[in-house]
Structure 1
């Protein structure tokens, strides 16, 4: 009987593994990722022209993200193949590239990371980590750190994802499994956190305006989903750890690449350098705190005195992250003897930039595709049509909530920005679910589940090309198929597990945030 059960389990595992292998093989038989993004751009141009010629348009209520007012908006498909569209493609090619959100973030942060890596600081820290951390905890630490990184906006994509690969490699494990674990935490668990992040007040403001369509005095606080997201942090960490160790890593097998991490004990010079790095980072943290913590801090919003939102601190996170690596990297190099003069620092920065050549080519193609999709309004039209379809089904209760989560997850494949999607969907679903007795806070938390879960399998996600470039360091054959097949188990299980958590939460009628219940007060 036991053998029969094991055979069935083996068959099931084999079926799922074969499914993932098929996705990888089909995906990787496609052309180079750069070529794929070019083909996607051509497809968008053709589809946009057909849609514009057919007069495809949508009319809907939308929250203006600048004024937070609800406005009736009409959006029409715009062709890329008429005179204006062709002018746009030629005149905006450079602007699309330089304005591509991940580009500046990655390159500026890599200046600091390059110094920390070039001087030997990162390698020394990793050896220290390997020698002092129990092996069984490292996966959970990587996933948890990824989830928590969204408090610093997009920093996790640039810092933690490649670091996850290096950490796993230093433990003798497959680096792509570490990369996947970090990416799953950073992007798949984007909404979860133990703290209130930048996305909370943004979504809360949009939900407030959508709720006013039914109840003019209603306000959704930035802390509206806090309790649920605290529990979600641990859920995503547990699920991410299990998926990495039971599905992803066994499927990847043993790493046979050329990248290695030296695991010898720290030398006296290295220990001296680490002490200097620690002192320098503490002093740097104190300096930043002095600029942020006081009520009149220089890096607070000059008008509102706030830290979150568009304050100099949040807008300046990228250079702060760069200095967070550059300062201790330089301090380590000076005291460990790996830096002799300023030329060594500049050389380390130059080497970091040289390693990004392949990414720059990929980013140029990806930037055009993302910009074309936005210009043609195809993403907005898909979002509105999807919302209208769900509303037209006439579902109520939890079937409607689950349908809403699935529609959010599907639309997320085409529109990466959480606030852009919510600005379109909130005026439809917040009032609709309020009529059924559900609070705007509950609708918002259901949206966030769908919005996060499919980030990691969408080529339209801004940092998707970045992750492929990081992965190709360890396996040059890595393509879109490899990444999607590796991340798909996370996406499916996060979506299912997170939805089950919401159902359980609803069953017990727990508050989802301070003063925020699931249902509207009678």
Structure 2
């Protein structure tokens, strides 16, 4: 998954020294390489936040609360609070365990990864990717590679380490340039990071941070995280991005690369990524498919059968849409995806031979949790930054004044959200982690957009469009060196500049189409997912 992949924190950069390189992208690389690890970025930001909170408290910065009023009907005044006050210092030390363990994304991601870790380590994801693209007709090779690459985002590492080298081999076998295959797959896996047919690990991660931002603002105590809150939008992104990647690959990138003529070594060393699946692996895929159907059927029964635990709330007001009254169903989807991945991975592994007994299953789940070690450290730092930001009241005060400023400027809301998308994409050039960036931005952007009439789901959708579009042109993305190695296998001397230049057209087109889609979505007022309208009205 993007730079929030949990099993790899860094790759060995085998590229040439670029310290003397010139140009904007070289400056981005040099600047980004000077930044500390995201964990320490949060630590330094906490120190800055403490200093700002002291200054702002001394200046007496306030704002009118948008929803709360006093007994006489006047707005409640939001006052800035110093983080060096006795109350906040006490809260920091006394509530430290609670601050960490109650950080919303933590539980969501750990639960989903218990199942996804089994699906990945059993070989299900890798076999599924290979089977999906091997039989593609030649004229549909590019769109099939792009589609499977976007779907492979559910597969964490497999999308990068299996799909991208396999795409190069498939293109070379078809007489096409293998670098075009790498470009198409990289654009799908990383550029289309948020485009998919269904919610997954990324949704659990981002919406957990969104929920923390809403809770911290105090604007809507009844809002709850819905992992399917961007379902329709990410599916639409996939539909839009597919022809974009197809067009850029076939009409821009491949003509520039020229005709592919392999040498003897390359023809003999296509590798084993394209070897046919064994009978056991094909049997495992069939069993995994049946397991997925069984889990879906189980959840349907628990949701729609009379008297079942996930059925719509019987106390709901007549006439309410079913998805509004079926909150238990959507809140159960985090556990649902864990069970889905777990069942499918176990079914595949038992047939393919990668899971011989229940101990293997437990070992895979334990390994998945070991891979989460770095994320736990990052989550500890992010949780305290978000909590302290909320304690200072700076988030809500900034959101109120920011929303008032946008209203006073007369800037149309779709255009304002489009600019936020572009800003997220620019920030992505310097801070690679999707969760780290959203933890920094959400405490201000989410309440500010709520005040402007955009739901938390809408704020999350806007962020993820910008985050994905520039993944493929920043050397700070942890898989960038690995993609470079894949490319150098086919063309010696292919460097950072070459890879970045090859991916820039994708980044531009994905950003432009993503921004347009986001603006149209607001203009048309379409729901972003089941039970997730893009418009929002403050309670009361």
Considering the TM-score relative to the shorter chain, is it more than 0.5?
Answer: yes
**Alignment partner of 1:185 out of 195, 207, 213:** 195
Task: Tell me if structure 2 keeps the 8 A contact 1:227–1:511.
Answer: no
Is 1:423 paired with 2:436? no
**Which residue is equivalent to 1:479?**
none
Is 1:388 paired with 2:401? no
**Alignment partner of 2:294 out of 283, 286, 291:** 283
Q: Could you say what secondary structure the match of 1:331 adopts?
A: helix
The 1:390–1:88 alpha-carbon spacing in structure 2 relative to 1, beyond 3 Å, is same
Write out per-residue CA displacement over residues 441-473 of structure 1, whole angstroms, 9 at most, x where no aligned residue. Answer: xx9999888566445599xxxxxxxxx997599
**Alignment partner of 1:91 out of 85, 90, 94:** 94
Task: Tell me if structure 1 keeps the 8 A contact 2:195–2:235.
Answer: no
Task: Tell me if structure 1 keeps the 8 A contact 2:108–2:334.
Answer: yes
Task: Tell me if structure 1 keeps the 8 A contact 2:150–2:238.
Answer: yes
**Alignment partner of 1:136 out of 130, 142, 157:** 142
What is the 5 A alignment of 1:243-392? 262-294=273-305, 296-304=307-315, 306-308=322-324, 311-392=327-408
Separation in structure 1 between the aligned mates of residue 103 and residue 246 of structure 2, nearest angstrom: 32
The 1:293–1:344 alpha-carbon spacing in structure 2 relative to 1, beyond 3 Å, is same
Structure 1: any 5+ residue segments left out of the alignment?
A: 1-16, 65-69, 147-155, 191-197, 203-209, 211-224, 251-259, 431-442, 459-467, 477-484
Q: TM-score, normalised by structure 1?
A: 0.62
Separation in structure 2 between the aligned mates of residue 385 and residue 75 of structure 1, nearest angstrom: 12
Task: Tell me if structure 2 keeps the 8 A contact 1:114–1:351.
Answer: yes
Separation in structure 1 between the aligned mates of residue 115 and residue 279 of structure 2, nearest angstrom: 25
Q: By how many angstroms is 1:24 displaced? A: 3.1
Task: Tell me if structure 1 keeps the 8 A contact 2:64–2:75.
Answer: yes
Is 1:171 paired with 2:198? no
Task: Tell me if structure 2 keeps the 8 A contact 1:384–1:425.
Answer: no
Q: Could you say what secondary structure the match of 1:414 adopts?
A: helix
**Which residue is equivalent to 1:414?**
441
**Which residue is equivalent to 2:35?**
30
Q: Could you say what secondary structure the match of 1:61 adopts?
A: strand
**Which residue is equivalent to 2:64?**
59
What is the CA RMSD across the aligned residues, in angstroms? 5.1
Task: Tell me if structure 2 keeps the 8 A contact 1:119–1:330.
Answer: yes
Task: Tell me if structure 1 keeps the 8 A contact 2:99–2:383.
Answer: yes
Task: Tell me if structure 2 keeps the 8 A contact 1:177–1:244.
Answer: no
Write out per-residue CA displacement over residues 250-304 of structure 1, whole angstroms, 9 at most, x where no aligned residue. Answer: 9xxxxxxxxx984321111112222222222222221111112346442124345
Separation in structure 2 between the aligned mates of residue 292 and residue 61 of structure 1, nearest angstrom: 37
The 1:183–1:373 alpha-carbon spacing in structure 2 relative to 1, beyond 3 Å, is farther
Q: TM-score, normalised by structure 2?
A: 0.61
Q: Could you say what secondary structure the match of 2:23 adopts?
A: helix
The 1:385–1:315 alpha-carbon spacing in structure 2 relative to 1, beyond 3 Å, is same
The 1:267–1:416 alpha-carbon spacing in structure 2 relative to 1, beyond 3 Å, is farther
Q: Could you say what secondary structure the match of 2:349 adopts?
A: helix
Write out per-residue CA displacement over residues 214-237 of structure 1, whole angstroms, 9 at most, x where no aligned residue. Answer: xxxxxxxxxxx9999997764455
Separation in structure 2 between the aligned mates of residue 296 and residue 55 of structure 1, nearest angstrom: 55
Q: Could you say what secondary structure the match of 1:74 adopts?
A: strand
Separation in structure 2 between the aligned mates of residue 473 and residue 304 of structure 1, nearest angstrom: 55
The 1:243–1:40 alpha-carbon spacing in structure 2 relative to 1, beyond 3 Å, is farther
Q: How many residues get paired?
A: 409
Structure 2: any 5+ residue segments left out of the alignment?
A: 1-21, 169-181, 201-206, 212-218, 220-229, 257-270, 317-321, 425-437, 471-475, 485-499, 528-532, 536-540
